[in-house]
Structures are given as structure tokens and as C-alpha cells.
């Protein structure tokens, strides 16, 4: 097998692993990776604001709002207007949301991060630079991305950007 074929096979395996884990997550708890990530971020704040969740997850506020709409429709989160400042709306997990979060399996990137952190600094740097070079070779360096291992569209904004 040619070197470029070996690399493409390895990339496909990474993509497939992400896809399989995403499907497992959705099957087990009915949540997508971004939804789970947002729910975990909400627990780090007392009455999380959309901007705080966006900053914590590296997702845009518009994407967070869209995810929160879906979570609220499923009664997993609750939005509550501040009594002190009516412009502020805090987001909280409901009891159902807390239970779903508690029973959710570990996210793929958490497993990856633990193993990546075990590597020596030079190995980490080599992997980062290699992946950045791959992104460049695929003309993907300008694509907006968060550190979330998930297949598919995360927001409407990304979908419209991809069509251009």
C-alpha cells in the first residue's frame, strides 16, 4: 500500500471511530456530543449565561442557543430570567437533564485527552503539527471548529457556510 493510502486509511478510521461513538452516545442517552458538552458546561456555572457556555465549549453563541432550544424542548434544561437584571437569562439543568448527564458515557475526546496527556511533549507537538499540516493540505485551515469529536453539522451557520 502506498504511503498516501496508509494515511487516508488512518484518517478514515478516525472519522469512523468518531461516527460510531456519536451513534452510541445518541443511542444510549439520546444526546448528541454537542448537547452533552453544553450540558456539562452548564453545570460549571450557577445560572449559566449563553456567552459563558459558548466560551467554555468554543462554540458560537448562535450554536449554543440552537442546542439549548432542543434541550429545552426535551425538558433537559430550563432558562430563567434574572430577577435582578431582566436582560440576563440563566440556564439550568432540570432533574431530567442532570440524570441524563449522570448516565451519559464518557465523551470520546475525554478518553483521547487522557491518552494524549500521557504522551511526551515532543510527541504531542509532533501530532499537533502533523494534524495542522493535514488540515492545511485539505484546505481546511480557515474552517471554524471546536475541540469536539463529533460527526455532522453543529449549527445552521456552518451548514450555510459549507454550501458557499
Question: C-alpha angle with apex 36: 51 to 157, nearest 5 degrees?
Answer: 55
Domain that holds residue 40: 3-157
**In a domain? residue 164:** no
Average pLDDT, the chain: 84
Predicted pLDDT at 144:
66
Question: C-alpha angle with apex 36: 117 to 160, nearest 5 degrees?
Answer: 100
Per-residue pLDDT of 73-106, as tens digits, reads 999 999 988 778 778 888 999 999 999 989 888 7
C-alpha cell belonging to residue 118: 500521557
Q: Which of 106, 40, 39 is nearest to 70 (CA)?
A: 39
Q: How many CA atoms lie within 13 A of 64 on its CB side?
A: 24
**In a domain? residue 37:** yes
Other C-beta atoms closer than 10 Å to the C-beta of 136 total: 11
CATH number reported for the structural domain that contains residue 21 in this entry: 1.10.10.10
**In a domain? residue 163:** no
Instruction: Please give the Cα distance from 123 to 101 (Å, whole number).
Output: 33
pTM given for the model:
0.71
Q: How many domains does the chain have?
A: 1
Predicted pLDDT at 146:
63
Predicted pLDDT at 148:
63
Amino acid at each position: 500500500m502506498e504511503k498516501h493510502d496508509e494515511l487516508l486509511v488512518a484518517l478514515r478510521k478516525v472519522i469512523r471511530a468518531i461516527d460510531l461513538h456519536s451513534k452510541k452516545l445518541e443511542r444510549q442517552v439520546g444526546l448528541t456530543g454537542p448537547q452533552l458538552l453544553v450540558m456539562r458546561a452548564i453545570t460549571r456555572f450557577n445560572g449559566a449565561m449563553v456567552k459563558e457556555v459558548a466560551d467554555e465549549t468554543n462554540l458560537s453563541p448562535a450554536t449554543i442557543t440552537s442546542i439549548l432550544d432542543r434541550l429545552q424542548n426535551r425538558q433537559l434544561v430550563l432558562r430563567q430570567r434574572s430577577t435582578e437584571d431582566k436582560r440576563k437569562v440563566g440556564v439550568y439543568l432540570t432533574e431530567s437533564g442532570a440524570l441524563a448527564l449522570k448516565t451519559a458515557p464518557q465523551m470520546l475526546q475525554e478518553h483521547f485527552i487522557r491518552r494524549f496527556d500521557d504522551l511526551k511533549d515532543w510527541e504531542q507537538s509532533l501530532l499537533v503539527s502533523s494534524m495542522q499540516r493535514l488540515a492545511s493540505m485539505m484546505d481546511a485551515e480557515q474552517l471554524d471548529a471546536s475541540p469536539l469529536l463529533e460527526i455532522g453539522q453543529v449549527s445552521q451557520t456552518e451548514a450555510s457556510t459549507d454550501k458557499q
